[in-house]
Structure 1
Amino acid sequence: MIRLSRTLSSRWFAAVGAATLFSVLTPVSAAHAVQLSCGQTVTTSVVLTADLLNCPGDGLVVGSGGITINLNGHTVDGVGLGVGIRNNGFGNITITNSNTIPARVQQFDYGVRLNPGTSGNIIEKLAIQNNEFSGVELNSTHTNNQVRNNLIERQAHSAVTITGGSGHNVIFDNTITNNQGQGVSVQKSANNRLEGNRITGSGGVGLALEGSSGNTLLANTVGSSRDAAITLRLGSNDNLVQSNSSTQSADAGMIVADSTGNRLLSNTLHGNGDSGIVLQGAHGTTVTGNDVSRNTGGIELSSSNNNLIQSNIASNTTGHGITLGLSLNNNLQLNQANHNGSGGIHIVGDAAPGTGNHLVRNTTNANKGDGIFVSKAAHTLQGNTARDNKSWGIFVDPGNVDGGGNQAGNNAQAAQCMRVVCTP
């Protein structure tokens, strides 16, 4: 039996079901050592005995379901055209490497491409390199395909692309590095799982969802992208983004734009070129337990309503810890916004009565600006703490609501708070 080199999370295992998962993992027919030629259609399980070099079109084509293609340490090499290994809809295929020598699929338009109707395929233990459009593409695939334990590097565009309504697939434990486009791109596809991938050096976004809903992004590491580390945009709704990390991306750690109902939980996003988390036209988002310290900003909302921002660490940034602009009905609770280069929490924009933001029990200490600054009306402040700031502890414009219980002390402004009552 072929086994995963890491263990998928227990929740995913329970959701798929043990019987279904292991039926996918078990090859159907015995493999035979054969010498294949470029463009050959494979209809039985095979173990390669030689390289396929300078293939003028496709490398290998899957021609039957339930088979294993074992590259056995050999290279499938093209001239910049076709697909290294192409499957036009056959189910329960395993493409693998049993040898300690890397098995390379390189220099095609696509390294491995699963086309419409494909289900139950496994792509594992390959080195997929120097292809044009995608190292691996799942194009309108059906369900339960797995791309796992591969090295996918130096594509001219994206490393992994999931597109055309492909659903219920797993991209797991891959090393994805130095691709000129996006690391992983999910386009108009739902209910896929991206877990435990290491994505570095992408020329675009490290991990991008566009028009894609119900996906799970879990425990991926994204570093040194030339754009944002992770993006959800253009109607990417109801996704779970949990326990991912990013460092040193040129743009934000995470951007959610024009999307609703996403959950951003327990992510660690440090040292990025923009804010740790940016919401732009994002509504109904849960942002809980994230560490967005040491970015140019912590959490930034723009024209984003009805979000829960709770128990995050937005400290030690060069700008504001948490910023809201033209955003309504957001709940900010139990956040830490300390030691920032500007203010702790900064809110701008009018709100009609009953539509303002609620700031409850946040801690905003030792910032170089105000602990909390709220312009315009009508926002509510209750039970917040603001100490040791270089300007006001809490400063609010007229028309805001003092919910009581705010505390301030040792701030640079002797009055400590303006237009709310603060106790020491």
Structure 2
Amino acid sequence: MTLKLDTTARRSIGEPSKASRIATAAYVLPAALLLSVALGGSARAAEPGVTCGSTVTTDVTLTADLYCPSGDGLILGSKVTLDLGGHSLIGSDSGVGVSSEFPFEGGNTIRNGTIENWAIGIRLMGIEPNPIPYVATDLVLINAPVGNYFTNGTTLQLTRVTAVDSPIRGELGGDLAISDSSLTRSPVEVFFASATITNSKLVETFVSTTAGGELSIDSSKLDGKGTAALGYVSETVITITDSVVKNYAQPISGFWGGVTLTGNKFSDMPNGVLGSITSGIESDGVSGITGNTFIRSGVALRGNVPMVVENNTFRQGDVGVEFTMSDPLPGNPPQTADRSRAVGNVLVNNTGSGILTELPGLEVGGNTAKNNGGYGIYAPGAVDLGGNVASGNALGQCVGVVCARK
């Protein structure tokens, strides 16, 4: 059975046509929304009225915009599809637009419209995990944050979603799967949960993962517009793969975490791509950076954690890669570059050195460093794996390893 909400209303002033104008227009909705039910091809009498704040337990399609001047929007029961019908669900910067807050027998779907001007636009809450995801698809979110607070795990899938000024958060097993979407000033943050972002566009959008789980970005375009920080990681890992990332004001930073960067192009990030992560725990503290290009990106990598840096290109930055570690606690031995490697990288035309470290034990091999403003490779106490090449570097070619001139 499919119920359709008939929200045709007399408006006291005008007939707004766009969501942004509807939110501020002065009009009055009737006290109840009439429901029409189609059974066997014929219509029967209208069901009792449904207003903002009602619980909906069967599929619903809006036939006009729905404005809730106070309180909440709609609460969805189990196995419910809310089809906005190309219309808007509009709040007054308070309440929850769409929520699901009791045990599910199956996933819910919300689709095909705009959710605007709510304290929380979509909220999913529960205790028992459900293998069927909650789906939000073909939506525009404007000033309508999204939260998946599902203890023990139910995934919220967001597909073909355009979000503006609408943070997206997952907590306590409430995982996120975002694909084919556009996020503007809409940070993605997870806490004891995981998030995947695929084939999407992020503008001035920060990502964060803390305390377990993981956040991964694949085949996407990210533009910080010179203002946003790229990300924060703590006790887990951020992974970025096959993406284009540019114009972020601050690098990935964090505490007891790491990153995996593979096959990306980073450019115009004056404060670097990876920096200022406090030394990590076990493998989570090791950052793997492979097959990337870094252009005009400050000290591109200064992770302050063990880094395996292989087959990357560093051009026109300050320093290609600097291996550092946190200061040891009192009574602990001095830090080394144990578990760190720099192999097969090309470092050219940087204003400082190509590879730089004061830590002993860095494994160095097969790198090419040319025409840098500092050293080609400065790594006293390194483990020389051979095959390094350097020429035209202003302060000298190599310290700590042998470099051929070509």
Classify the TM-score, shorter chain: 0.7 to 0.9
- Residue of structure 2 equivalent to 1:370: 353
Tell me the SS of whatever aligns to 1:174: strand
For residue 76 of structure 1, report the CA deviation from its aligned partner. 2.2
- Residue of structure 2 equivalent to 1:411: 393
8 A Cα contact 1:44 1:68, kept in partner:
no
Tell me the SS of whatever aligns to 1:368: coil
Are 1:84 and 2:58 counterparts?
no
The whole-number CA distance in structure 2 between the counterparts of 1:401 and 1:45 is: 77
Which amino acid in the other structure matches residue 129 of structure 1? Answer: E
For residue 237 of structure 1, report the CA deviation from its aligned partner. 2.2
For residue 264 of structure 1, report the CA deviation from its aligned partner. 2.6
Which amino acid in the other structure matches residue 138 of structure 2? Answer: N
For residue 178 of structure 1, report the CA deviation from its aligned partner. 2.8
Are 1:178 and 2:165 counterparts?
yes
Cα distance change of structure 1 residues 127 and 311 upon mapping to structure 2, 3 Å threshold = same
For residue 379 of structure 1, report the CA deviation from its aligned partner. 0.9
8 A Cα contact 2:150 2:171, kept in partner:
yes
8 A Cα contact 1:176 1:199, kept in partner:
yes
For residue 299 of structure 1, report the CA deviation from its aligned partner. 2.7
Among 195, 218, 232, which residue is 1:242 paired with? 218
The whole-number CA distance in structure 2 between the counterparts of 1:32 and 1:217 is: 33
Structure 2 counterparts to residues 258-337 of structure 1, below 5 A: 258-260=235-237, 263-275=239-251, 277-278=252-253, 280-283=255-258, 285-296=259-270, 297-300=272-275, 302=277, 303-304=279-280, 305-317=285-297, 319-325=298-304, 327-328=305-306, 330-337=307-314
Structure 2 counterparts to residues 327-366 of structure 1, below 5 A: 327-328=305-306, 330-340=307-317, 342-349=318-325, 355-366=338-349
For residue 198 of structure 1, report the CA deviation from its aligned partner. 1.1
- Residue of structure 1 equivalent to 2:136: 147
Deviations 1:61-111 (A, max 9, x none): 21x3xx321111x23222332x21112xx3221111335xx3333235001
Deviations 1:201-259 (A, max 9, x none): 34xxx11112213x42212322124xxx21112x2324433123221263422332221
Which amino acid in the other structure matches residue 382 of structure 2? Answer: N
Which amino acid in the other structure matches residue 363 of structure 1? Answer: V
Which amino acid in the other structure matches residue 55 of structure 2? Answer: V
Deviations 1:118-137 (A, max 9, x none): 332110112111112x1111
- Residue of structure 2 equivalent to 1:112: 98
Cα distance change of structure 1 residues 35 and 153 upon mapping to structure 2, 3 Å threshold = closer
Tell me the SS of whatever aligns to 2:269: coil
Which amino acid in the other structure matches residue 91 of structure 2? Answer: Q
Cα distance change of structure 1 residues 43 and 332 upon mapping to structure 2, 3 Å threshold = farther
Cα distance change of structure 1 residues 32 and 411 upon mapping to structure 2, 3 Å threshold = closer
8 A Cα contact 1:59 1:77, kept in partner:
no
The whole-number CA distance in structure 2 between the counterparts of 1:376 and 1:33 is: 67
The whole-number CA distance in structure 1 between the counterparts of 2:268 and 2:69 is: 45
Cα distance change of structure 1 residues 197 and 147 upon mapping to structure 2, 3 Å threshold = same
8 A Cα contact 1:40 1:59, kept in partner:
no
Among 46, 65, 84, which residue is 1:75 paired with? 65
8 A Cα contact 1:42 1:60, kept in partner:
no
The whole-number CA distance in structure 1 between the counterparts of 2:349 and 2:191 is: 39
For residue 364 of structure 1, report the CA deviation from its aligned partner. 1.0
Which amino acid in the other structure matches residue 118 of structure 2? Answer: N
For residue 32 of structure 1, report the CA deviation from its aligned partner. 5.6
> TM-score scaled to structure 1, two decimals?
0.76
Q: Give me the CA root mean square deviation.
A: 3.0
Deviations 1:105-163 (A, max 9, x none): 3235001111132332110112111112x1111112733221111111024xxx21111
Answer 1 or 2: which has greater strand percent: 2
8 A Cα contact 1:42 1:61, kept in partner:
no
For residue 33 of structure 1, report the CA deviation from its aligned partner. 6.8
Cα distance change of structure 1 residues 256 and 169 upon mapping to structure 2, 3 Å threshold = same
Are 1:390 and 2:373 counterparts?
yes
Higher-Rg structure is 2
Tell me the SS of whatever aligns to 2:314: coil
8 A Cα contact 1:293 1:316, kept in partner:
yes
Are 1:60 and 2:36 counterparts?
no
For residue 39 of structure 1, report the CA deviation from its aligned partner. 7.2
For residue 271 of structure 1, report the CA deviation from its aligned partner. 0.3
Query: Mind listing any 5+ residue stretches in structure 2 that lack a counterpart?
Result: 9-29, 328-333
Deviations 1:157-214 (A, max 9, x none): xx211113251331111111134xxx21111225541112211134xxx11112213x
> TM-score scaled to structure 2, two decimals?
0.79
